[in-house]
Amino acid sequence: MAMTINPATNQEVEKYPDLTDDQLDRALERAHRAYLSWRETAVERRADVVRRVGALMLERHEDLARLLTLEMGKLIKESENEVRLAASIFTYYGDQGPGFITEETIDVAEGQAVVVTQPIGALIGVEPWNFPYYQVARFAAPNVVLGNTVLVKHASQCPQSALALERLFRDAGAPEGVYTNLFIKADQVARAIDSPLIAGASLTGSEAAGASVGQAAGRNLKKVVLELGGSDPFIVLDEDRFEHTIKAAILGRLANTGQSCVASKRFIVLEPYFDKFVEGMRAGFAGLRVGDPMDPQTQLGPLSSEDALKHLEEQVNDAKRKGAKVVIGGNRIERPGAYYEATILTGVTPEMRAYREELFGPVAVVYAVDDERAAIELANDSPFGLGATVIASDLKRARAVAQRIESGMVWINHPTASAPNLPFGGVKRSGVGRELWRLGMQEFTNRKLIRTLPADVKLEMAAG
For residue 461, pLDDT beyond 80: no
Q: Compute how many other C-beta atoms are within 10 angstroms of the C-beta atom of residue 365.
A: 22
Residue ranges matching CATH 3.40.605.10 in the chain: 2-228+430-450
The pLDDT of residue 289 is: 97
Each residue's pLDDT tens digit, 424-442? 999 999 999 999 999 999 9
- Is residue 130's pLDDT more than 90? yes
- The CATH code belonging to domain 232-412 is 3.40.309.10
Q: Does residue 248 surpass a pLDDT of 60?
A: yes
Average confidence score pLDDT of the chain: 96
pLDDT tens sequence across 330-343 = 999 999 999 999 99
pLDDT tens for 379-395 read 999 999 999 999 999 99
Residue 66 pLDDT exceeds 90: yes
Percent residues over pLDDT 70 in the chain:
99
| pLDDT confidence tier of residue 462, bands split at 50, 70 and 90 | low
CATH architecture of 2-228+430-450: 3-Layer(aba) Sandwich (3.40)
Domain(s) of CATH 3.40.309.10: residues in the chain:
232-412
Residues linked to residue 180 through DSSP beta bridges, in sequence order: 151
Segment 128-150 mean pLDDT: 97
**Binning pLDDT at 50, 70 and 90, where does residue 1 land?**
confident
pLDDT reported for residue 409 = 98
pLDDT number for residue 4: 93
How many whole angstroms separate alpha carbon 76 and alpha carbon 44? 35
3-state secondary structure of 101: coil
* C-alpha span between 232 and 408 (Å, rounded): 11
Active-site residue, 158 included:
no
pLDDT of residue 463: 62
Catalytic residue among 261, 357, 372, 435: 261
pLDDT of residue 459: 85
Buried b (16+ CB within 10 A) or exposed e, 77-92: bbbbbbbbbbbbbbbb
Position 353 confidence tier, pLDDT thresholds 50, 70, 90? very high
| Residue 78 reports pLDDT greater than 80 | yes
Contact between residue 201 and residue 171 where contact means Cβ atoms under 8 Å apart: no
464 pLDDT more than 60: no
pLDDT tens digits, 175-216: 999 999 999 998 999 999 999 999 999 999 999 999 999 999
Q: In 3-state terms, what secondary structure has residue 269? A: strand
71, 78, 227, 435: the active-site residue: 227
Mean pLDDT of 12-35: 96
Comparing CA positions, the residue from 122, 103, 101 lying closest to residue 114 is 103
Annotated active-site residue 40? The verdict is no
Count CB atoms within 10 A of the CB of residue 136: 25
Q: Confirm if 202 and 225 have CB atoms less than 8 A apart.
A: yes
